[in-house]
Structure 1
Amino acid sequence: MRIQLAALKVAASATLAVGLSACSMGNMFAPGPADSTLSTASPTQAELSAVNALPAIATECPPIKVRQGAQALFNYGNGRKGNARDLNYQAVIDQESRNCVVSNGLITVKMGVTGRVLLGPAGNQTNVTVPVRFVVERDDVALFSQKYEIPVSITPPAQSNDFVKVVENVGIPYTGGENIVIWVGFDG
């Protein structure tokens, strides 16, 4: 046991020595001034640097999920809902994504979705509008909810086309410990 403890102390001392020696090496990959010295920033310089610093990227960006039952949208003709032969078109969500930045207790979210509209057996539409809703919930309470009508053009002889919707600058106050979820899905 004593031998293991002594070996750990030696390893820790060696690691610390290597780390400290690296601090005094400077930048060995880029040449600097011949008489380069370390200096300490003045309080004014430090304050200005803090103000101009880029915001930190959130380490725990809320997950984005497709709401159950809202991952596909079906449009039927002749009032025959559920009859495959009367399907005009179907829209599906293929992928969802988000990106977050944290600054001053605020999570700023950029979220998006990609999907596809496919014509069915009864479909001959060249323009379709799909309703997509984004919701941000904190502890099951909606902080943001917005429906977007996304136009999709289908140029014959094509039978499908993709769509993309990106929503930017959605601010979420963050205090820590909350359960925040971003939901997306068809709203129609």
Structure 2
Amino acid sequence: MGKTSYNRSAFHQVFAMALVLTAAGCTTKGDGSGTAGSGLPSTSGEQKVKESELTAYCPNITLREGTAFFNTYEKGGEKDNARIIYQAAITDVTRACQYAPGTTTMDVAAAGKIVPGPQFKAGTITMPIRVVVQQGDAVLYSKLHKHQVSVSNPSSATQFVFNDRAISFPTPAQKDIQVFVGYDEGPYNTK
């Protein structure tokens, strides 16, 4: 357990650092010196972040009850713990927003782990992860992803990161957008 906690902690630190470095690379000093906010030389084409972008609305992400966990069983062994192939869990979510006139584009990320079950077999597994953006009762975006992860060790958890970078919707006049991420066990003939 100690090793898993260390790996999870290290994963979160690396993930957080990547987000911080990405954000730092997008800012410049207001003195026109052309150096990035981190003190590194800027690249050509880098744009300054406007105050309106820093204070802009970027909707939070919610995991609906029952969608943070996903179990896969041997055929015919549903709900039998002795026949679980693997258990997957989404443990963290984050997002970033970009703005264009009248449009908000989101990058949604979810991090999690896959734990081998009694019937585990090494290979590539496919997890059904759905991202939904709603404004009131209106669905602005819904996509089911079949996220694949390679798993090989039957005695420890495998960590994964999922991203959906293609979320775009009209910038709302009010802060009334809801974003949901979670496992969706079907039906799969939906959008």
Instruction: Give me the TM-score of the superposition, normalised by structure 1.
Output: 0.66
1:122 matches 2:119: yes
Q: Which amino acid counterpart does residue 147 of structure 2 have in structure 1?
A: I
What is the 5 A alignment of 1:22-171? 54=49, 56-57=53-54, 59-171=56-168
Contact persistence 1:106–1:171 (CA under 8 A): yes
Mark the structure with the bigger radius of gyration.
1
State the percentage of identical aligned residues: 26
Is 1:176 matched up with 2:173? yes
Q: Which runs of 5+ in 2 are unaligned?
A: 1-30, 34-46, 186-191
- Alignment partners' CA distance in 2, 1:154 and 1:175: 41
Q: Secondary structure at the match of 1:85?
A: helix
CA contact (8 A) 1:100 1:107 kept: yes
SS for the counterpart of 2:57 is coil
Deviates further, 167-176 or 83-92: 167-176
Corresponding letter in the other structure for 1:121: P
CA RMSD of aligned residues (A): 2.3
How far apart, in 2, do the equivalents of 1:173 and 1:57 lie? 18
Q: Which residue of the partner structure matches residue 42 of structure 1? A: none
TM value normalised by structure 2: 0.65
Question: Would you say the 8 A contact 1:57–1:100 is kept in 2?
Answer: no
Contact 1:57 1:101 in 2 (8 A): no
Aligned-pair CA distance for 1:140? 2.5
The Cα shift of 1:158 comes to 4.5
- 1:20 aligned residue: none
* CA contact 1:143–1:172 (8 Å) conserved in 2: yes
